[in-house]
Amino acid sequence: MKTNPLKFENLQDFIKCYNPENRHQREESERFKAFSYEELVRRDKASLDIFWLKDESLEDSDNLPAPEVLAAEIVESLETALSEFRAIYEELGEKQ
């Protein structure tokens, strides 16, 4: 919240769907859905952590490589970046 504070305009879509003036005329959208009390308490520990939208820009988490493979790839990327920064640092030092 510190780096990306919530603003009133971020809530406009929700307020429109919530329809505080007349809750009986509320309409669901792709982003906002109504759930009955029964549907909510049927969930594990009545969890409100509900997802129905899928971010297509994210990779399919069901098919990710093993954690040790991901860790090795991250280490390799960081080592490559460090090597490149070291070369830049050395080149800058030579110019002085």
pLDDT at site 82: 96
- Note down the domain range covering 91: 62-96
My answer on whether 85 and 43 are in the same domain is: no
pLDDT at site 86: 93
Instruction: Judge if pTM exceeds 0.85.
Output: no
My answer on whether 47 and 74 are in the same domain is: no
Spans of the chain below 50 pLDDT: none
Per-residue HEC secondary structure of the chain comes to: CCCCCCCHHHHHHHHHHHCCCCHHHCCCCCCCCCCCHHHHHHCHHHCCCCCCCCCCCCCCHHHCCCHHHHHHHHHHHHHHHHHHHHHHHHHHHHCC
Number of domains into which the chain is organized: 2
My answer on whether 40 and 6 are in the same domain is: yes
My answer on whether 37 and 70 are in the same domain is: no
